[in-house]
Amino acid sequence: MNIAVLDLATETAKLLADLGVDARSYTGGTLSVTSPITGKEIGKLKEHSVADAKAAIDAAHKAFLEWRAVPAPKRGELVRLLGEELRASKVALGRLVSIEVGKITSEGLGEVQEMIDICDFAVGLSRQLYGLTIATERAEHRMMESWHPLGAIGIISAFNFPVAVWSWNAALAIVCGNSTVWKPSEKTPLTALAVQALFEKALKRFVAEGGKAPANLSTLLIGGREIGEVLVDHPKIPLVSATGSTAMGRAVGPRLSQRFARAILELGGNNAAIVCPTADLDLTLRGVAFAAMGTAGQRCTTLRRLFVHESVYDQLVPRLKKAYGSVTIGNPLETGTLVGPLIDGQAFDKMQSALGQAKAAGGAVVGGERVENGSAEAFYARPALVEMPEQIGPVEHETFAPILYVIKYSDFDTVLELHNAVPQGLSSSIFTNNMREAETFLSSRGSDCGIANVNIGPSGAEIGGAFGGEKETGGGRESGSDAWKAYMRRSTNTVNYGKTLPLAQGVKFDV
Ligand code: UN1
């Protein structure tokens, strides 16, 4: 493989032009963006100042005040048009995701599909922002819940799902009557520019078709940590949805709660799978391979710990090692590649350091070495499978790289305990054909994660379910199910349509 000959800067400029992005926004600026495929620069973006960010939030708040008055199904129409723009631009945007993040082609496209799916979901939701009616103890009274828009919603997203995570938040926030202010990762701002341009296109169509929408409904802020801090501290941002490391969540969470703002935190995962004696091993092999090596191990849902029952260990693990040895690593834009590059050299160093610690703790490592590709600035690594004697050291932490720790187990109850004995709680799986094991895993004494699966890996969730996890994963839920409720405020209403004033709990107060 020699990627030195690729000219991704030219292709990026062409894609951005096709997607409607003005070239002035990504040339001549101060924020340099490189493609992990080549390690070479593909854009130089203008950055917002702290003052710009504050002014943008004030403007977004004004937009919210207008947008909340638009009926929800009409707000849904704007998101429907956004879905149409995404469908029309799926190939270009998917390719740009691949170039900016290093995802293989089908995963770049898959990320855009995830955006389309959540738009569809949100359109349906725009007619289903249901509240309850509640039985009241007082005659001629009615009690109900109403859900109201919340305000300008802050979105902080990570490099690994640079656009889907925005859409999970923005599609819901917008049908719920909010405006949004988005700070993407400094590593992936080009895809954000493209998404913002597609949103503007949808908005233009919405207005041309007679829809009423304020300016600044969706705002994009380019910059570093200080811009994120403005979002976190600004009194006109009632909710920040932040995706990233547990360290980031530890910084953001207390600052938000200090001013009683809401947080949706989607932080680190240390996802495990248990392979039981009755597991279908062919299916398990495929499930494990995708979950552990897919996206070069850079999903928050990536499989990082594998517990294999002693009775199937010698059948499964050699086959897995073979897959690790033969998986195609290289240019993610090429057909047939399954593992692309790591996002940068720092990620590679962290991977090497975790592997060093694993060895020191008695781990036997297969893979993990750098795969040369003709560029000193691009970091491709063979995914690593590490047989560990027990769950210690680096196994207890999330390393954002393709490392799978494999541990042999003999007793189901003990392995359940081990499964839950890490600080993170995002996603989990069990591979079994034993109903008791499967149901126990899903029960209250089973997996303690926000996502628990049977006979599929922990990654690659659909948008229809609520997404997020427990413990150090942060507790937030995004995407499907009733995650929309976090983007609205609940009002409990009691209406007296009678002529008397009975007080609740039998209280008497006659004046
Ligand atoms: C993330 O890695 O931040 O479940 C999100 C999945 C994807 C989303 C991952 N649908 O793997």
- Contact by Cβ (8 Å): 449, 426: yes
Q: Is the CB of 241 under 6 A from ligand 1?
A: no
Q: Is the CB of 460 under 6 A from ligand 1?
A: yes
Rounded distance between C-alpha atoms, residue 3 and residue 340, angstroms: 12
Predicted confidence (pLDDT) at residue 120 exceeds the cutoff of 70 = yes
**Ligand 1 centroid distance, CA of 460 (Å):** 6
Which pLDDT band, with edges at 50, 70 and 90, does 3 fall under? confident
**Ligand 1 centroid distance, CA of 140 (Å):** 49
Concatenated DSSP letters of 192-236: HHHHHHHHHHHHHHHHHTT----TTSEEE---SHHHHHHHHH-TT
**Ligand 1 centroid distance, CA of 463 (Å):** 9
CA neighbours within 13 Å on the CB side: how many for 71? 5
- The minimum-distance atom of ligand 1 relative to the CA of 300 is 2
- Pocket probe mutation, ligand 1, options 112, 264, 301, 467, max atoms within 8 Å of Cβ: 301
Rounded distance between C-alpha atoms, residue 357 and residue 374, angstroms: 29
**Ligand 1 centroid distance, CA of 395 (Å):** 21
231 Cβ contact list (under 8 Å, min separation 6): 53, 57, 154, 156, 181, 183, 221, 237, 240
Span 155-191, pLDDT tens digits: 999 999 999 999 999 999 999 999 999 999 999 999 9
Q: Where are the alpha helices (DSSP H) in 102-188?
A: 105-125, 164-175
Known catalytic membership, residue 266: yes
- Contact by Cβ (8 Å): 366, 27: no
Q: Is the CB of 287 under 6 A from ligand 1?
A: no
Q: Decide if the complex's ipTM is over 0.95.
A: yes
Quick one: tokens of 372?
């040369």
Q: Is the CB of 118 under 6 A from ligand 1?
A: no
- The minimum-distance atom of ligand 1 relative to the CA of 298 is 2
**Which listed residue (100, 107, 186, 266) is catalytic?**
266
- Contact by Cβ (8 Å): 231, 182: no
**Ligand 1 centroid distance, CA of 467 (Å):** 8
In this structure, the number of other CB atoms found within 10 A of the CB of residue 372 comes to 11
481 Cβ contact list (under 8 Å, min separation 6): 464, 465, 466
Predicted confidence (pLDDT) at residue 1 exceeds the cutoff of 70 = no
Q: Is the CB of 161 under 6 A from ligand 1?
A: yes
Span 84-97, pLDDT tens digits: 999 999 999 999 99
Alpha carbon separation from 327 to 302, 346, 403 (Å, rounded): 17, 23, 14
pLDDT at 58: 98
C-alpha closest to that of 290 among 352, 383, 364 = 383
- Contact by Cβ (8 Å): 129, 173: no
Q: Is the CB of 459 under 6 A from ligand 1?
A: yes
- The minimum-distance atom of ligand 1 relative to the CA of 462 is 10
Q: Based on C-alpha coordinates, what's the Rg of the chain?
A: 24
Quick one: tokens of 12?
């990026």
- What's the average model confidence in pLDDT over 249-255? 97
Percent of the chain whose predicted confidence (pLDDT) is above 70: 100
Rounded distance between C-alpha atoms, residue 393 and residue 304, angstroms: 13
Span 349-365, pLDDT tens digits: 999 999 999 999 999 99
Q: Is the CB of 301 under 6 A from ligand 1?
A: yes
DSSP-derived 3-state class of residue 173: helix
Backbone angles phi and psi of 295, in degrees to 5: 55, 25
Quick one: tokens of 250?
């530890």
- The minimum-distance atom of ligand 1 relative to the CA of 266 is 3
Residues 111, 480, 97: CA angle, nearest 5 degrees? 10
Which pLDDT band, with edges at 50, 70 and 90, does 79 fall under? very high
pLDDT at 373: 86
Predicted confidence (pLDDT) at residue 381 exceeds the cutoff of 90 = yes
- The minimum-distance atom of ligand 1 relative to the CA of 114 is 10
- Pocket probe mutation, ligand 1, options 161, 303, 453, 478, max atoms within 8 Å of Cβ: 161
Q: Write the residue with the smallest CA distance to atom 6 of ligand 1.
A: 460
- The minimum-distance atom of ligand 1 relative to the CA of 301 is 11
467 Cβ contact list (under 8 Å, min separation 6): 168, 266, 450, 451, 461, 477, 478, 479, 480, 483
In sequence order, what E strands does 251-302 have? 262-266, 271-275
**Ligand 1 centroid distance, CA of 311 (Å):** 32
**Ligand 1 centroid distance, CA of 461 (Å):** 7
Rounded distance between C-alpha atoms, residue 150 and residue 64, angstroms: 8
Q: What is the mean pLDDT of the chain?
A: 97
In sequence order, what E strands does 317-394 have? 364-366, 384-387
**Ligand 1 centroid distance, CA of 255 (Å):** 26
Q: Write the residue with the smallest CA distance to atom 7 of ligand 1.
A: 460
Weakest mean pLDDT among 1-10, 66-75, 405-414: 1-10
Predicted confidence (pLDDT) at residue 339 exceeds the cutoff of 70 = yes
Q: Is the CB of 299 under 6 A from ligand 1?
A: yes
pLDDT at 6: 86
